[in-house]
Amino acid sequence: MKSKVKQTIQHLNNSAPEQTTQAHVELPIEAPPYFIGNSQQRFSFDKILPSEWRDKVYEMHAWSTEQLLPQGTSLPTVIDKFVAKIHGTLRQWWITFGSYGQLQIRQTPTVDSLIAHIHNEFLGSWEHYTTQSREEYLATRCYFFKRKDLEKYYERMSKRFYALGGIDDVNLKQAYLKSLPEPLGNETARILSMKNIALHTTTFGELYQTSLAALEKLCNH
């Protein structure tokens, strides 16, 4: 009996260290996900379509401008921080400048000048996009101001105008002018003013012709 008790105690003593060891086993800790924040922000054109690059450029501009807000922060310091955050194709682009070219960029006077280097290299000049945006705006604007639509509108309004005896009614002429969509209405009024034509002296047909001239000017300039 004593022999069995002794064996049992010995077995417990021998097994205890194993349990203690198992209790202190440290499981591998999974690395935390990439922290997305201002301090960890990175800039790259990789893995995004070229059509999205301009949005990324604006992001770079906004970040660089924000870094200059604290009093006493210098642009060269911000540029150094910015360079540390670019990677991928942007990093390769920076390396190709060499020390002299990099020094020139570090000496740029404004954030606009800094970001312009990247914009010009990867997207072309700012002026190109300004011109393109203006052309797109005018195309969109003229889409809504088609001549045939203005003709149909004048036809309807002229019937009402003469039915109301509006030949000498300045208020009815003014109502037609204000009913034109902007900026067509403003441009029509501007042309009338430049020609020193008053509403009470102009005919309804002259008012219509002036609106056509305004439409042509808006769409061709």
Q: Among 93, 124, 155, identify where a domain stops.
A: 124
In this structure, is residue 157 part of a structural domain?
A: yes
Per-residue confidence (pLDDT) for residue 189, from 0 to 100: 93
Range of the domain at 201: 145-220
Q: Are residues 117 and 149 in the same domain?
A: no
Number of domains in the chain: 2
Residues lower than pLDDT 70 in the chain: 1-40, 126, 128-145, 221
In this structure, is residue 99 part of a structural domain?
A: yes
Per-residue confidence (pLDDT) for residue 167, from 0 to 100: 87
Q: Are residues 102 and 151 in the same domain?
A: no
In this structure, is residue 26 part of a structural domain?
A: no
In this structure, is residue 173 part of a structural domain?
A: yes
pLDDT tens for each residue of 7-40:
544 554 555 444 444 433 333 333 333 333 445 6
In this structure, is residue 113 part of a structural domain?
A: yes
In this structure, is residue 159 part of a structural domain?
A: yes
Residues 12 and 218: their CA atoms lie apart, in Å, by: 96
Q: Among 59, 89, 124, identify where a domain stops.
A: 124
Q: Give the per-residue SS3 of 150-190.
A: HHHHHHHHHHHHHHCCCCCCHHHHHHHHHHCCCCHHHHHHH
Measured between alpha carbons, how far is residue 187 from residues 74, 203, 213, 216 in Å? 47, 18, 9, 10
pTM for the whole structure: 0.45
Per-residue confidence (pLDDT) for residue 24, from 0 to 100: 38
Residues 138 and 218: their CA atoms lie apart, in Å, by: 8
| Of 214, 171, 178, nearest in space to 195 by CA | 214
